[in-house]
Amino acid sequence: MAPQALRLRYYSPRSERAYCAWIRRFILFHGKRRPTELGHAAVQSVLRHLAEPRNVSASTQNQELAAILFLYRDVLAIAIEKATPLTRAQRPC
């Protein structure tokens, strides 16, 4: 369902593949649980996992966050940032 939503919004094929890969990793990270069962804490935990043990760049974290927010906001129509906004990673100076 996510690829169709991405195509409908004219995302490039490369962005579509990247977003679908990030969404897949998010679901696998949480033991193949449905995203509707997960919430704000699940998103924070996957972002924390990217930052601390994997030590990825800020742009990678932000791309993961954008893909997850797209999944929740545009595909599932669930407001995940309503209670507490998710913080985006900052690039080092």
Q: Is the dihedral of CA 80, 86, 89, 93 positive or negative?
A: positive
- pLDDT value, residue 26: 93
Each residue's pLDDT tens digit, 75-88: 988 887 665 556 66
Each residue's pLDDT tens digit, 38-76: 888 888 888 888 877 777 788 888 888 889 989 998 898
- pTM of the complete model beyond 0.85: no
What are the extents of the domains in the chain?
2-75
Q: Regarding the domain delimited by 2-75, which CATH topology (the fold level of the hierarchy) does it fall under?
A: DNA polymerase; domain 1 (1.10.150)
Contacts with 7 (C-beta within 8 Å, 6 or more apart), sequence order: 16
